[in-house]
Chain A
Amino acid sequence: MANLAVSPMSELLAPAWSDPSFTWNWRTASHLLNRAGFGGTSAEIDELVRMGPQGAVERIVRYQAVPDDLPGLDFGTLSHPAFSSFRETRRFLRGMTRQQRRAYFQLVTQAGFVKMREMRCWWLNRMVQSKRPLEEKMTLFWHGLFVSAFSSVHNAYHMYMQNQLFRRFATGSAKVLTLSISKDPAMLRYLNNNQNRRGHPNENYARELMELFTLGIGNYSEEDVRQSARAWTGWTFLGDRFIFRPFQHDDGQKTFLGRTGRFDGDDIVRIIYEQPAAASHLAFKLAAFFVSDDPPPQVVAALAATLRAADWKVGPVLEQLFASRWFYSTAVMRRKIKTPIELVAGSLRRLEVAAPDSNRLLQSLKIMGQELFEAPNVGGWPHGRAWINTSTLFARYDMPAQLLTGHPQSPQTQQRDEAPHASTGFSPEMHLARAGIATTDAAVDYFLRLLIQDDIEPAKRRALLCALDGSAVPAGKPLNPADSATHWRLENLVELIMAMPEYQLC
């Protein structure tokens, strides 16, 4: 693949297949699945290879053709009025003593925590199982851009509603989504717009909307924050629904980004999306999220033009990105540090293991720094090298043992139970039998190809083979399924590959 250091912009975003040296193969198809989704099983990668690059990109981006067969999360089973309507909650509380109410709220709080745990597993499982991986990846993108956190929202159902909103708009219009998120109960609560009233404006939403969500710092003034905060007054929620309270709304004249009128929230969103910065801000975010932490300015400008031409629909931009020479260039491929979610969901997906309903896994994601529905702040999650420190690296390296065996070795007990393994269902034998692999050296190559999809230093491959062979000299012996050691050796091999720096990249 061409070195793009000196390529003009038009070439960076030209379709990769217009370059005669481009090859569509296991590596490039895996790359597409890694970045547009959460990695692929070997069957998925093979299928994309067969489809050719153009067909593969279309399949990924225009996923509406693929049926979604995964269930939503059922809140009905939670027989608590707090999760239905506000009116019912009020009726429920009427006639209670103060103590009873307190006990009730404690119950609701607890139920919320339980539900959030369930929801994190549910979403993780969607990332692992979905046949529309881009839908989940974009849902995660929006979640990291239009941030709300459960610890401030205190309502699991509202977090769920917001998550479904992101999913509905996954590749849709950023502008319409911005308007919808401005009416979203979780967001209204998270950025305190429910406390934004005429005469007592709360500027939190007005500010973050421009600073972080749409324009970026430097593209508006403090006065624009104050004026638009007035436009957002009276936008609040009741129960699970957005409501507009006219008597709390400041209907006066505002001057915002050079325009003057009796603006309300709709006008603010419209005016924001008239700013050139809106397109480049989102284009930058998309390119950084999917391709490279530091996208070249000329690429951002071209993507911004696509966004505007597509009336703020994100799908066409993604299609352009995933087809581009830039996307498949050596400067991009295998140069991005996986987010903890990409690491965990991707591992489960590639190894064909269902997301375990496991507190430990959620805890380990938290230690790695990415707890779903709990971004560290309104600025969202960090990216790139910020994910890595000595503590998170070991958390990343120790995660596979949890996934594959359900219990990592504890330092006190150097012995793992040789008893039947926990129920994560990882079966290296299934993988190898399906691929017709019968020797240790072929097994090493199989898992390297599945998990890393790149050449590694020969010394490293040799070390992996030694570990699998259980000898100081790499032999490449026949795998003996009758030997009870074969299973744990294969498990250890996979754990080792996943504890490689190469596996932290995609």
Chain B
Amino acid sequence: MDTLHTRRVFVARGLTVLSAAATMPAFLQRTAFALNNPADQPLTQTAAGRGDERVLVVVQLGGGNDGLSTVIPVDNDDYRRARPHLAITSKLLPLANSLALHPAMTGMKSLYDAGEMSVVLGVGYPNPNRSHFRSMAIWQTGAPDRVARHGWLGRYFDAQCSGADPVSPDAAVSIGPLSPVALAGKKFQPVAFQNPEQFQWLPGAGHDQRHTQLREAYRIVNGISPPAAPCPHCANEELDFLQRTALDAEVSGRDIRHAVTHARNEASYPASQLGRSLSQVARMIAAGLPTRVYYVSMGGFDTHAQQQKAHDLLMAEISGGLTAFMQDLKAQRLLQKTLVVTFSEFGRRVAENASLGTDHGTAAPLFVFGGGIRPGLMGTQPSLAPAHLQMGDLRFTTDFRSLYAGILNKWLGAESSKILGHGFKPLDIIRA
């Protein structure tokens, strides 16, 4: 079927679908149109996705980052006593209040000095859980007391839509094979992909002509081209759901591949996994995708043994990746619309263990970046004095849900109490 014919069929059919579109969500109409009719492409760009719409980038550090080797207490005897081998005492990059950045974080130090980064100290939650899985789920759902199926950002997207239609899936893009529970809502499902090249159907193919034919057949059997005709006798909600996902995948796959291959980076990124992910995110932001939340993750922080060398490299990777990302956004004038937040499921035990590493702990600092943030140190550094510890761990001073409330209220313009429940004072991270 040639394109012209396809388009003609679709437009004829599409209008029928539109007129009887009781069940077809608006974003699907837009995407279906654009997919089959390139001239209609502007329709895929929702008004909300263009221009000044704010973007949130979440950077997940999996495994439990050692906060005390990231934001380091300077001249602190408790710290040195607890960490006879692992305490970092030289080449520190001073922040304020006797705290300093890890020596490898030179890039982030300059972001801090430029007022584009803030450090939130002692972030955690009551009755800390030291299981990776459980604590990660707690951070992602914002629900320490129960097993929740939906994430804090998923619930935000759920709350964004008034009618029966879910928010368009490409409102949130997760880079990685799994879609984190943080982005999963009751109605909302984000787009997830690992590698833009593999974000498409990859049949075992032979020569090109056959490939084209296969692709056309693929689009037809998935109801993408032309959209499936109403078929009352085969009405099947699960089938509709799958066809919608296939259509989402096809459309967002095309947009994302296009953005990643055509948009530019204006900074050079380190050749790390985080660097690659962030450079893709920068290109997607630059391409003006309608995405409001990007989610990237990096692992390797579970440093139970021989911590120092591994952790030094991790710090260099975080700092290098995020510094390049911020430079890139700045050069492309995207800094003002972007907020970046890092988190890890927990910090690590104050005292080092017998294997020159550290075990699972509790509260830790995290970083916030952006053009619109309130820079500097926020919150209070927890005391390291043995008498103040709780089973050898730091007591948190800022509940992570206050940070979420600050992001939801002040950055995403939502009502955080509806998403997180009451009682979390929004952290003042955004400059008014």
Contact = CB atoms under 8 A, between A and B. Distances in A.
Interface of A: 334-337, 366-367, 369, 376-377, 379, 385-386, 388-395, 397-398, 401, 404-405, 407-412, 414-416, 418, 455-457, 459-460, 462-464, 466-467, 470, 472, 485, 488-489, 491-492, 495-497, 499-502, 504-505
Contacts of A467: 213-214, 216-217
Given A398-B202, A415-B207, A492-B210, A463 B177 contact: no
Contact of A390 (B208, B211, B218, B249): B249
B222 interface: yes
A496 B205 CA distance: 11
A389 B253 CA distance: 12
Contacts of B191: 389-391
Nearest to A363: B177
Interface string B227-241: 011010010111101
Most buried by B among A407, A412, A502: A502
19 contacts: A334-B236, A335-B238, A337-B242, A366-B177, A367-B178, A389-B179, A390-B245, A390-B253, A393-B249, A394-B249, A398-B202, A414-B205, A459-B229, A464-B221, A466-B216, A472-B1, A497-B221, A500-B222, A505-B242
Contact of A416 (B137, B205, B234, B249): B205
A505 B220 contact: no
Contacts of B221: 456, 460, 463-464, 496-497, 499-501
A100 B341 CA distance: 43
A14 B147 CA distance: 37
Most buried by A among B1, B147, B174: B147
Interface in B192-221: 192-194, 197-208, 210-211, 213-214, 216-218, 220-221
A8 to B, nearest CB: 24
Nearest to B248: A390
B242 A409 contact: no
A492 B205 contact: yes
A418 B207 CA distance: 10
Contacts of A418: 206
Given A466-B217, A492-B205, A505-B238, A394 B199 contact: yes
B392 interface: no
Interface of B: 1, 133-134, 137, 147, 169, 174, 176-179, 184, 189-194, 197-208, 210-211, 213-214, 216-218, 220-223, 228-229, 231, 234, 236-239, 241-243, 245-246, 248-249, 252-253
A336 B222 contact: no
A465 B201 CA distance: 19
B298 to A, nearest CB: 18
Contacts, number: 166
B204 A401 contact: yes
B290 to A, nearest CB: 15
B97 to A, nearest CB: 38
A410 B202 CA distance: 7
A388 B214 CA distance: 23
A293 to B, nearest CB: 9
Given A391-B192, A404-B204, A409-B205, A457 B217 contact: no
A502 B342 CA distance: 40
B267 to A, nearest CB: 26
A405 B176 CA distance: 25
Contacts of B190: 389
A504 B242 contact: yes
Contacts of A367: 177-178, 194
Contacts of B249: 390, 393-394
B242 A377 contact: no
A228 to B, nearest CB: 19
